[in-house]
Amino acid sequence: MGFVLKHKQWQTGSQKTLEENMNPADANDKSTNLAESILNHAPPRKMCPHNTRISCASCRLNELCLPIALNKSEIHQLDEIVERNRPYKKGDHLYRQNDPFNSVYAVRAGSFKSYFLSDSGQGRVTGFFLPGEIIGMDGIASKHYANSLQALEHSSICEIPFSQLESLSHQLPNLQHHFFAIMGNEIAKDQQIHTLLSSYTAEQRMASFLLGLSSRYSRVALSPSRFLLPMTRGDIGEYLGLTVETVSRIMTSLQRKELISVANREIELLNLAGLRDIISHK
């Protein structure tokens, strides 16, 4: 059966403070904010990990996000145009399908899903976004977002106004190059999903999906073998072109084969090689 974890010591993007090496100025800002809220008779609350006064230079995701390949002064210029918004609660929308496109966003903590509603009303999840990943590039061409974007849990993001990103890219060849690369990566990733959806069985899709999450979590220094699924079985099904029931059945089947161990949203990948075998097997 494989052992099942009972307690809540699971890692997710939002449960871990993402800016650990903050500078003293940031700490000061924080205590100031706290003092203010007390003065305003707001209910005293725990220190929120989603500090909005963080800089790109100190963000622990900067290896994944835009600043990679920028030097110190360039990062500072990027920092100037990034807006760190208020956190989003589970279910909040970052934007909706057809809203005018203004910005791309980098996930700082938590996770999001994108989904598309067709005229006939039925929706399909088109993507999941974890910390360090970029959201909103589907709106660049048409100037309107093609999907809606919703937080799957308490999450925070960095907003990057696109016109300013363009001007800055014009000044910084490294940034232009890197943003081309980020978009190219998105294109390559989408084509992999095309292959997955057009030729994989339900079991292969699930195995591929879980391994994908695994490697994305390990990129942000979380465990590649134990994590919480931020999305529902329904979300997974819509994303993979399967029904909820099939997703559920495959999960229990993978568990019976001792490849994974699941309990609700908690999942552990027990045999990565075995999962890979499922994908290549045929």
Partner DNA sequence: CGCCTGGTTGAGAATCATCAACATCTGTGG
Partner DNA sequence: CCACAGATGTTGATGATTCTCAACCAGGCG
In the complex, the residues that contact a copy of itself under the rule CB under 8 A are 116, 118-120, 122, 124, 126-127, 137-142, 146-147, 166-167, 169-170, 173, 176-177, 179-188, 190-195, 197-199, 238-241, 280-282
- Residue 12 C-beta: closest distance to a copy of itself, Å: 25
Asked whether position 173 contacts DNA by CB under 7 A, the answer is no
How far apart (Å, rounded) are the C-alpha atoms in residues 266 and 12?
10
- Residue 215 C-beta: closest distance to a copy of itself, Å: 15
Report which of 271, 222, 217 is spatially closest to residue 9, judged by C-alpha positions.
222
Spell 76-113 as b/e; 16+ CB within 10 A means b: eebbebbebeebbeeeeebbebeeebbbbbbbbbbbbb
Asked whether position 257 contacts DNA by CB under 7 A, the answer is no
Part of the chain binding DNA (CB under 7 A), chosen from 9-17, 18-26, 178-186, 229-237:
229-237
87 or 237: whose CB is closer to a copy of itself?
237
Token pair in block for residue 236: 């997974």
74 or 203: whose CB is closer to DNA?
203
Asked whether position 197 contacts DNA by CB under 7 A, the answer is no
152 or 168: whose CB is closer to a copy of itself?
168
Among 262, 269, 275, 278, binds DNA (CB under 7 A): 262
9 or 73: whose CB is closer to DNA?
9
Three-state secondary structure readout of 142-200:
CCECCCEEEECCCEEEEEEEHHHHHHHHHHCHHHHHHHHHHHHHHHHHHHHHHHHHHHC
How far apart (Å, rounded) are the C-alpha atoms in residues 50 and 44?
16
Asked whether position 124 contacts DNA by CB under 7 A, the answer is no
Taking residues 202 to 221 in sequence order and writing x for each that binds DNA by CB under 7 A, - otherwise, the string is: xx------------------
User: Which one of a copy of itself, DNA, none is in contact with 264 (Cβ closer than 5 to 8 A by kind)?
Assistant: DNA
Stated as kind and residue range, the H or E segment containing 207 is helix 202-219
Asked whether position 243 contacts DNA by CB under 7 A, the answer is yes
Question: CA triplet 154, 20, 178: central angle to 5 degrees?
Answer: 80
Bridge partners, 227 (sequence order): 267
Part of the chain binding DNA (CB under 7 A), chosen from 58-66, 78-86, 197-205, 215-223:
197-205
DSSP state of 1: -
Asked whether position 106 contacts DNA by CB under 7 A, the answer is no
The count of chain residues that interact with DNA, using the rule CB under 7 A, is 20
- Map residue 251 onto helix, strand or coil: helix
User: Which one of DNA, a copy of itself, none is in contact with 137 (Cβ closer than 5 to 8 A by kind)?
Assistant: a copy of itself
Three-state secondary structure readout of 6-72:
CCCCCCCHHHCCCCCCCCHHHHHHHHHHHHHHHHCCCCCCCCCCCCCCCCHHHCCCCCCCCCCCCCH
Q: Which residues here bind DNA, judged by CB under 7 A?
A: 201-203, 232-234, 241-249, 251-252, 262, 264-265
